[in-house]
Amino acid sequence: MNGGLIKSASRFALVAAAGILAGGVAAQAADLGGNCCADLEERVAELEATSARKGNRKVRLTVSGQVNESVLYWDDGRERNAYVTSNNFGRTRFRFVGDAKINADWSAGYLLEIGVRYANSGNRSQLSASGSAITSSNGNNSFDIRHSAWWLDSKTYGRVWVGNTSTATDGITEISLANVIAGGNDGSNYLGGFRLRNATGALTNVTHSSIRSGNFNAGEGDRNNVIKYVSPTWAGFTFTGAWGDEEQWDVAIRYAGEFSGFRFAAGVGYQENRSQNTAGAAACANVGGNGNPATTESSVDCNDLGLSASVFHVPTGLFLTGSYGRAQDNNRSNFAVSNPAGGKFRSEDSHWFVQGGIERNWFGIGKSTVFAQYVAASTGAAIGGGARSSAAAGGGFAALGAGGFVSDAGIREFGVGFNQEVSAAALDLYVTYFHVDADVTTSATGGQNGKVRATGNAFDAVVAGAIIRF
């Protein structure tokens, strides 16, 4: 009898809640006509079928995420266009976080995060006719697993992660105290797929991403299958170390603190990749045992150093952020070429970045951020995936009389932007203008002998959109 009463009370509570959310249901429930009970039963059944449930009562579940969509206008000096894109500066995603308390010191949990790659701004180019041209067959219109890992945490000893998640150096060159959405040191987020044009205006097959140390800044970490340890915070310092598949490991130390009206955050990290029997890893070149390009049974040998720092003056809202990164690929210097007189390959990539501005709540709806930034990045011989990057396609830089392979390249980027937070809606509106200059040096082999430098057309872009979090 009591169980029936409890069940009945629970059902009427559900119906009342539905009336508040959907509107009008509670009023209909008050009408005690002949269809009252049948109508209630039908509505309760519908609620029970569509409501989200936790798997058990012991693990607390939190669902969150963000939607970040933008308009990308670009002008490469010969062609201009505008695309609607998913902004890769912080692309659309959703996540599930579970946590359970074991005792006063220990807890456990998991992180599952899914990313959305539809019309990704980092993959668009002059050859992208429309969003429909980006299909799941090339991996650009799909979901991807950003994180899938569990953790065990002690307030005394720190946290251990196991699974696919951030390595120790992930984000080490991106530390910032300012609220900037469409900005930062990795221009690959909005122009990575765009191709450079040579002096004649012809498209080459050298992309902006390929002259920015691949899809990441030099020195920047990534996500991988790892075992990771994160220490407790001592006097503002936190230590992180991770080991991943195929002899990949990294370490990092970060600091955050506030004193005399200044907030300060910084970090430095080092990573090594010595994968064996793999077709590719990070930005390292793959070289087979005979020194020729290979896609199987090859190894990589590279290391990265990355650091960044940010300072924010609370009374005025003035801030300054900077970063530096270096990636050393030892395989490039050993890369054999058909002509030994071509010289060694340049084996180092690097970047440096500075951003400054002011952030104040001028309009009463949230923080307004005005900023300017400058990025300089360079790459050595553009070798990846077991092959030297050719510059010859579509006329390419080889048409200038140099060889058909990239020896080194550089990029310089200036940007200004505005970001407006709307705190009541967990919303940020943003617009940023970028101007990019790039040059490419080519030779007959990709080595340093007989190389010729060529300047590509300037590239201008405007990224405008919004990100809303839930």
Instruction: Give the number of residues written for the chain.
Output: 470
At residue 117, the pLDDT reads: 81
**pLDDT value for 102:** 97
User: What is the full DSSP assignment across 151-174?
Assistant: EEEETTTEEEEEEEEE-TTTTTT-
* Of the listed ranges 66-75, 187-196, 335-344, the one predicted with least confidence: 335-344
Give the pLDDT confidence score for residue 71 in this predicted structure. Answer: 96
pLDDT band at residue 457 under the 50/70/90 scheme: confident
Does residue 396 register a pLDDT over 90? no
Let me know whether 15 and 147 are in one domain: no
In terms of domains, do 323 and 349 share one? yes
Q: What's residue 274's pLDDT? A: 79
Give the model's pLDDT for residue 237. 98
Same domain? 314 vs 167: yes
| Cβ atoms of residues 287 and 293 within 8 Å | yes
Contact residues for 456 (Cβ-Cβ < 8 A; gap 6+): 196, 197, 198, 199, 204, 206, 437, 438, 439, 440
pLDDT-derived band at 330 (thresholds 50, 70, 90) equals confident
Residue with tokens 């939190």: 62
Whether residue 174 has pLDDT greater than 60: yes
Residue 414 pLDDT: 97
Question: Which range marks the domain in which residue 100 is found?
Answer: 59-469
**Residue 318: its pLDDT value, please?**
98
The pLDDT assigned to 17 comes to: 40
- If one compares 175 and 334, the residue with the highest pLDDT of the two is 175
DSSP per position, 216-253: S-TT---EEEEEEEEPPPBTTEEEEEEEETTTEEEEEE
- Dmax (CA) for the chain in angstroms is 96
The pLDDT value recorded for residue 333 is 64
Instruction: Count CA within 13 A, CB hemisphere, residue 294.
Output: 18
Q: What number is the average pLDDT over the span 456-470?
A: 94
Give percent above pLDDT 70 in the chain: 72
User: In the predicted model, is pLDDT for residue 48 greater than 50?
Assistant: yes
Same domain, 186 and 236: yes
Q: What is the pLDDT of residues 114-139, one digit of tens each?
A: 999 888 888 888 987 544 344 443 44
Please count the helices (runs of H) and the strands (runs of E) in the chain.
5, 22
The verdict on 387 and 337 lying in the same domain is yes
10, 28, 51: which is the final residue of a domain? 51
Evaluate whether 271 touches 303 at the Cβ level (below 8 Å): yes
The whole-number pLDDT of residue 295 equals: 39
Please indicate whether residue 40 or residue 412 has the higher confidence score (pLDDT): 412
**3-state class (DSSP) for residue 196:** strand
The structure's pTM equals 0.82
Residue 389 pLDDT more than 90?
no
Q: What integer is the mean pLDDT of 164-176?
A: 97
Higher pLDDT, 206 or 77: 77
Instruction: Look at residue 95 and give its three-state secondary structure.
Output: strand
> In terms of C-beta density within 10 A (0-12 exposed, 13-18 middle, 19 or more buried), how is residue 381 classed?
buried
pLDDT band with cut points at 50, 70 and 90 for residue 425: very high
**Whether residues 422 and 278 fall in one domain:** yes
Question: Do residue 125 and residue 19 come from a single domain?
Answer: no
Q: How confident is the model at residue 470 (pLDDT cuts 50, 70, 90)?
A: very high
Looking at residue 118, which CATH number applies to its domain?
2.40.160.10
pLDDT in tens, 355-366: 999 999 999 999
What's the CA gap between 303 and 286, in Å, rounded?
14
> What crossing angle do the helices spanning 36-50 and 2-22 adopt, rounded to 10°?
80
Instruction: Out of 51, 67, 85, pick the residue that ends a domain.
Output: 51
Q: How far is CA 407 from the centre of its chain?
A: 27
The region of weakest confidence among 43-47, 242-246, 261-265 is: 43-47
- In this prediction, residues 75-92 reach a mean pLDDT of 92
Whether 356 and 248 map to the same domain: the answer is yes
For residue 242, pLDDT beyond 90: yes
Q: Among 19-33, 140-154, 184-198, 444-458, where is mean pLDDT lowest?
A: 19-33
Extract the tokens encoding 122.
């980092």
Q: Identify the band that residue 52 occupies on the pLDDT scale cut at 50, 70 and 90.
A: low
* Strands 158-166 vs 93-101: parallel, antiparallel or unpaired: unpaired
Question: pLDDT, tens digit, for every residue of 374-384?
Answer: 999 988 876 65
How far CA 149 is from CA of 60, 168, 177, 273, 327, in Å, comes to: 16, 14, 27, 21, 27
Per-residue pLDDT at 424 exceeds 80? yes
Q: What are phi and psi of 342, to 5 degrees?
A: -70, -15
Total domains in the fold of the chain = 2
* Same-domain pairing of 217 and 332: yes
358: which strand partners? 318, 370
Q: Is the pLDDT of residue 42 over 80?
A: no
Greater confidence (362 vs 439) lies with 362
* 346 plus 411 within the same structural domain: yes
Q: Is the pLDDT of residue 182 over 70?
A: yes
Average pLDDT over all residues of the chain: 80
Does residue 271 register a pLDDT over 60? yes
204 pLDDT band, cuts 50/70/90, is confident
- Which residue has better confidence, 13 or 301? 301
d(CA 377, CA 178): 22
Say yes or no: 13 and 136 in one domain.
no
pLDDT for the residue numbered 388: 62
pLDDT value at 24 more than 60: no
Q: Clarify whether residues 143 and 19 are in a common domain.
A: no
Position 284 scores a pLDDT of 63
What percent of the chain stands above pLDDT 90?
A: 50
